C-alpha cells in the first residue's frame, strides 16, 4: 500500500499489518462459530418441545412455554446477527489482505491472498 507521497511502505510494516488482519480474522471466525452455536441451542430446545408435546397440554403450561419460546427467538436473532456481522467483516479483512499481498513481494508466495482477484 502506497503512502500519499507515492513511497512504498516498509516491508516490516506490511507484514505487521497482515499479522494484525489475520488475528482479526481469527476473532471474526470465533464470532461466527459462537453465532452458529447460538443458532443450534434454540433449535434443539424447540425439537425437544416438539418431541415431548404429547406429555403436556400447551394451555396448561402457557406461562412456562411463552418465555422459553421468547428466549429461543432472542437467541436465534442474536446468532443470526453474529454470523451476518462476522461474514461481512471477514469479506472486508480478505479484501485488505489481498491489497497487502499485492504490494508485498515477500508475501505474494505465501498464499495469503491472490493479487489477481483485486478489483
Does residue 61 lie in a domain region? yes
The reported pLDDT for the residue numbered 11 is: 82
Neighbour-count burial of 64, counting CB atoms closer than 10 A to its CB (0-12 exposed, 13-18 middle, 19+ buried):
exposed
Residue-number span of the structural domain to which 29 is assigned: 11-117
Does residue 36 lie in a domain region? yes
Does residue 53 lie in a domain region? yes
The domain tally of the chain equals 1
Q: Helices marked H in the chain — which ranges? A: 11-51, 62-103
Does residue 5 lie in a domain region? no
Does residue 92 lie in a domain region? yes
pLDDT digits over 41-92, tens only? 999 988 888 888 888 887 888 888 889 999 999 999 999 999 999 999 999 9
Does residue 2 lie in a domain region? no
Separation of alpha carbons 65 and 52, rounded Å: 13
Amino acid at each position: 500500500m502506497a503512502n500519499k507521497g507515492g513511497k512504498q511502505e516498509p516491508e516490516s510494516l506490511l507484514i505487521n499489518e497482515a499479522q494484525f488482519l489475520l488475528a482479526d480474522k481469527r476473532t471474526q471466525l470465533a464470532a461466527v462459530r459462537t453465532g452458529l452455536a447460538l443458532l443450534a441451542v434454540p433449535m434443539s430446545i424447540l425439537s425437544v418441545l416438539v418431541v415431548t408435546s404429547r406429555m403436556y397440554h400447551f394451555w396448561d403450561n402457557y406461562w412456562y412455554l411463552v418465555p422459553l419460546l421468547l428466549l429461543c427467538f432472542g437467541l436465534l436473532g442474536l446468532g443470526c446477527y453474529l454470523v451476518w456481522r462476522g461474514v461481512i467483516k471477514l469479506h472486508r479483512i480478505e479484501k485488505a489482505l489481498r491489497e497487502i499481498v499485492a504490494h508485498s513481494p515477500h508475501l505474494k508466495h505465501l498464499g495469503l491472498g491472490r493479487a489477481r482477484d483485486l478489483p
